Amino acid sequence: KAGVTQTPRYLIKTRGQQVTLSCSPISGHRSVSWYQQTPGQGLQFLFEYFSETQRNKGNFPGRFSGRQFSNSRSEMNVSTLELGDSALYLCASSPGSMRGNNEQFFGPGTRLTVL
Amino acid sequence: DQQVKQNSPSLSVQEGRISILNCDYTNSMFDYFLWYKKYPAEGPTFLISISSIKDKNEDGRFTVFLNKSAKHLSLHIVPSQPGDSAVYFCAASEGGSYIPTFGRGTSLIVHP
């Protein structure tokens, strides 16, 4: 089974621009979660999509948004980029249909640098 | 408010010795715990997990211990190897949730 893929792997943008990141989950997985990783802050949860609906949301401003398509692929968009948005953005997938012990499978991440 | 805390940002251990990574949690509803390992430029990978009905789970060199009364879990790596050098994330979930809550991670360095 192919793993979680994320594109692009690296991205450089300037302040004020917007960016779209893409994630393809493991085949059969219907839940896709997005995380931001910065030094010292660990994995901060952005949001989770399941069957094209946002099911959970973290504490990020509205500049961060996402969506999920019928094939479970997901995109994350960040508008009006700020320097502090520079981070590794990780996508994780899971079957998503069971509460509790959900092991998540992570992609390699997209390294976003905002200049 | 952090519900999963990894209070040691880093840990340095000699090859062959034991590495002990600690994790504390505040939510008494958490009943499933996971450890992930992350190398630079890669996504985290699942390492080992434990359900709250157990107090220990072993997988090769990795053992996770859970102390529910203290709301504390630890990951033991014996013996430690240089290839174990990575960031380790503790995560916890409760029966009613679909996604786990992650700690901030502990960077383990194993010296040859």
pLDDT for the residue A75: 98
How far B60 CA lies from chain A's nearest CA (Å)? 19
pLDDT at A10 over 90: yes
Q: Stretch A21-39: mean pLDDT, rounded?
A: 93
Task: Name the token pair of A32.
Answer: 């896709």
Q: List the single range of A41-45, A100-104, A109-113, B71-75 with lowest mean pLDDT.
A: A100-104
Residue in A101, A105, A112, A113 to test binding to B, most B beta-carbons within 10 Å: A101
Model confidence at A23, pLDDT cuts 50, 70, 90, reads very high
pLDDT for the residue B84: 97
Helices (H) and strands (E) in chain B, counts: 0, 11
pLDDT for the residue B94: 85
Residue written as token pair 């805390």: B5
Contact (CB<8Å) A102/B31: no
Residues of B in contact with A103 (CB under 8 A): 34, 46, 49
Residues of A in contact with B95 (CB under 8 A): 99-100
Model confidence at A100, pLDDT cuts 50, 70, 90, reads low
pLDDT for the residue B40: 87
pLDDT at A70 over 80: yes
Contact (CB<8Å) B45/A31: no
Rounded to a whole number, what is the largest CA-CA distance in chain A?
A: 41
Burial A45-82 (b: 16+ CB within 10 A, else e): bbbbbbeeeeeeeeebeeebbbebeeebbbbbebeebe
Whether the CB of A105 is below 8 Å from some CB of chain B: the reply is yes
Q: Stretch A33-38: mean pLDDT, rounded?
A: 94
pLDDT at B49 over 80: yes
- Taken in order A97, A60, A82, A78, the sign of the CA dihedral is positive
Question: Which of B2, B91, B79, B92 lies closest to B38, judged by CA?
Answer: B91
**pLDDT, tens digit, 9 for 90 and up, residues B50-87:** 999 999 999 999 999 999 999 999 999 999 999 999 99
Q: Stretch A81-97: mean pLDDT, rounded?
A: 92
pLDDT for the residue A85: 96
pLDDT for the residue A101: 63
Kindly report the average pLDDT of chain A as a whole number: 92
Contact (CB<8Å) B44/A100: no
pLDDT at A52 over 90: yes
Nearest chain B residue to A4 by CA distance is: B43
